[in-house]
């Protein structure tokens, strides 16, 4: 019989990751608080269950892909959570992006009931999730990393154990700091070029061939230029990540002036009603600032 995965959170990322686990041959029992969130996964053999205990109790490994720290707190500490219902396999991998400190606290609480928790946030976006090409940054005990490996391999191509509990989240926050500032830089360049009557699509091509090339210019640049605001990685989630970065930089004081400025621009985008749209909608703030 195949190993059992309890999967919690079937949003933009989680639904693709759960499907890839099922297609790799694992038995996947999945739960999302939104009824119907997992319906499209049934044809791939994912069992959609009605509550957390039904997903986790008999699982060899529990994986979560939730929005933020409070939701992860809930599935660990809540009345139905992992502390009250330790999974059979005693292994829990949280792949959401949450606060490193919260991760450490939860991993200590779970260790007290014999459950090993890893933090394993990802980079690569919805396309990486779909194609199982995510980069996965793992914090926690080496033994847990070894046990989680076959499951992580079904979702990503680059797996790195980067340190003790919380280290995966810290590396992911550094990733988000670079992405956020890069997205803002691209918005500024596109706004300036537009004001000077430059062909933006051609400029993107030109810049991709030089030293300003980046994943964001490549992937998000097209959506910015074409005004396609559909959600991939939502503005609200990046704002959450920049907040986590700034909180981390208060705990161990490090001045992050560029991150702080970019966070303000993301707040502007939220105030303009772009929160549920993808990060390329940050460029829409410039439609207003430049009267376009």
Positions annotated as catalytic residues are 172
Binding-site string for ligand NAD from residue 6 to residue 35, where x marks contact by CB under 6 A and - marks none: --xxxxxxx----------------xxxx-
Closest to ligand NAD by CB, 71 or 165: 71
Q: If you search the block for the tokens 């703030």, which residue do you land on?
A: 285
Catalogue the E-assigned strands of 116-227: 116-119, 122-123, 134-139, 156-163
As given in the structure block, the two tokens for residue 134 are 């995510």
Name the 3-class secondary structure at 212. Answer: coil
Residue closest to 81 by CA, chosen among 108, 105, 62, 104: 62
65 binds ligand NAD (CB under 6 A): yes
Cα(264)–Cα(34) distance, integer angstroms: 31
45 binds ligand NAD (CB under 6 A): no
Please give the helix or strand (H or E) that residue 46 lies within, else none.
none
Closest to ligand NAD by CB, 144 or 180: 180
Q: Minimum distance from CB of 277 to ligand NAD (Å)? A: 12
Pairing of strands 122-123, 134-139: antiparallel
State which of positions 69-108 bind ligand NAD (CB under 6 A).
71, 74-75, 96-97
Half-sphere exposure (CA, 13 Å, Cβ side) for 101? 8
Closest to ligand NAD by CB, 12 or 164: 12
Of the candidate residues 77, 126, 212, 267, the single one contacting ligand NAD (CB under 6 A): 126
237 binds ligand NAD (CB under 6 A): yes
Phi, psi of 27 (to 5 degrees): -85, 120
Minimal CB distance residue for ligand NAD? 11
Q: Minimum distance from CB of 210 to ligand NAD (Å)? A: 26
Q: Minimum distance from CB of 247 to ligand NAD (Å)? A: 15
Cα(190)–Cα(31) distance, integer angstroms: 41
Closest to ligand NAD by CB, 194 or 236: 236
State which of positions 140-199 bind ligand NAD (CB under 6 A).
none
Q: Minimum distance from CB of 127 to ligand NAD (Å)? A: 9
Which residues have a Cβ under 8 Å from the Cβ of 199 and sit 6 or more positions away?
none
Residue closest to 8 by CA, chosen among 53, 63, 50: 63
Closest to ligand NAD by CB, 151 or 191: 151
Q: Are residues 195 and 287 in contact, defined by beta-carbon separation less than 8 angstroms?
A: no
CB atoms within 10 A of CB 185: 16
Q: Given the rule CB under 6 A, which of 59-67, 182-190, 198-206, 209-217 is the region that contacts ligand NAD?
A: 59-67
State which of positions 238-277 bind ligand NAD (CB under 6 A).
241
Q: Which residues bind ligand NAD (CB under 6 A)?
A: 8-14, 31-34, 37, 65-67, 71, 74-75, 96-97, 122-123, 125-126, 232-233, 237, 241
């Amino acid at each position: 019989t195949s190993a059992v995965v309890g999967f919690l959170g079937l949003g933009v990322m989680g639904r693709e990751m759960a499907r890839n686990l099922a297609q790799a041959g694992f038995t996947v029992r999945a739960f999302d608080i939104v009824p119907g969130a997992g319906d499209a996964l049934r044809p791939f053999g994912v069992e959609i269950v009605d509550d957390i205990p039904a997903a986790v109790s008999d699982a060899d490994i529990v994986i979560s892909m939730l929005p933020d720290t409070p939701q992860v707190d809930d599935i660990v500490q809540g009345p139905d959570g992992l502390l009250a219902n330790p999974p059979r396999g005693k292994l829990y991998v949280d792949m959401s992006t949450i606060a490193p400190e919260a991760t450490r606290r939860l991993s200590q609480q779970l260790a007290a009931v014999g459950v090993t928790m890893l933090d394993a946030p990802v980079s690569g976006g919805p396309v990486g999730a779909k194609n199982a090409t995510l980069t996965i940054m793992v914090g926690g005990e080496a033994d847990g990393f070894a046990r989680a490996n076959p499951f992580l391999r079904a979702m990503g191509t680059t797996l790195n154990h980067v340190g003790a509990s919380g280290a995966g989240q810290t590396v992911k926050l550094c990733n988000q700091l670079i992405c956020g500032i890069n997205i803002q830089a691209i918005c500024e360049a596109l706004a300036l070029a537009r004001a000077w009557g430059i062909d933006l699509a051609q400029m993107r091509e030109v810049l991709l061939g030089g030293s300003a090339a980046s994943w964001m210019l490549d992937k998000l640049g097209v959506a910015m230029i074409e005004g396609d605001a559909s959600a991939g990685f939502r503005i609200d989630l990046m704002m959450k990540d920049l907040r986590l970065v700034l909180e981390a930089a208060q705990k161990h004081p490090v001045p992050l002036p560029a991150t702080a400025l970019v966070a303000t621009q993301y707040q502007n985008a939220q105030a303009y009603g772009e929160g549920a749209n993808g990060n390329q909608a940050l460029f829409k703030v410039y439609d207003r600032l430049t009267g376009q």
